Amino acid sequence: MNANPAHQKPSGGTSTRLSRRPDAWGWGLFGGLTAGGAVLDLWSKQAVFNWLGPPENQTIYSVIPGFFQLVARLNSGAAFSMFQGQRLILAGISIVALAVMLFLFLTGRFHRRIIQVAAGCITAGIIGNLYDRMFNEGMVRDFLDFYIGSYHWPTFNVADSMLCIGVGLILLANFTSEADQTHDLPQKAEP
């Protein structure tokens, strides 16, 4: 018999684990990554834009010549500059996404640690870019520019990185079993 109440099934036959509220570790992971990631994103944007000056200056700082540089760019769209100039639509989508992430976390839908980390990263990314959309005239500040020769990957920021890391972790979680992500050891049936 499994002594862990989170794994016992109620009389209806469905697991109570799906509705379990976040524990202290869950709050720490989700809250810490959300707050830390959002602060890092907003601080890094402010620091780089103060250092390089406005995008009109076209100032570039080469970090790894021929591969990585810091630039000041403004983006009125979403990933890869899609939906240019659609500030209200993009802000609305971000607000809905933020509300969904918070609802899912608070109602215990993110019980696996890897998903709690992913959700914290995604939530931080949403907050960082939403802040720019709301308080920077709809323009998201990007500054990380990776390139090879004349080919440049679209310029991005820490919030974009957090979003990609979160999505990557969710994909990774789909390739691992839930038993790999919990600290509960399988219980042997008693003879």
The whole domain housing 71 covers: 22-148+160-178
- State the pLDDT confidence band at 177, using cuts at 50, 70 and 90: low
Q: How many domains is the chain partitioned into structurally?
A: 1
Catalytic, 160? Answer: yes
Task: Give the tens place of pLDDT for each residue, 143-154.
Answer: 999 999 999 999
Choose the catalytic residue: 41, 132, 145, 160.
160
Report pLDDT digits (tens) over 123-142. 999 999 999 999 999 999 99
Is 185 within a domain? no
Q: Is residue 118 part of a domain?
A: yes
12: in domain: no
User: Within a domain: residue 184?
Assistant: no
Residue 143 resides in a domain: yes
Q: pLDDT digit string (tens) for 10-45?
A: 444 444 445 578 888 989 999 999 999 999 999 999
What's the average model confidence in pLDDT over 77-84? 77
User: Has residue 188 been placed in a domain?
Assistant: no
Q: Which of 41, 132, 142, 145 is catalytic?
A: 142
Is residue 171 in a domain?
yes
Supply the mean pLDDT for the chain: 86
pTM above 0.85, yes or no: no
- The residue to which tokens 């005239």 are assigned: 137
Task: Name the phi and psi angles at 187, rounded to 5.
Answer: -95, 135
Is residue 122 over pLDDT 90? yes
Task: Give the pLDDT of residue 103.
Answer: 96
In a domain, 189, yes or no: no
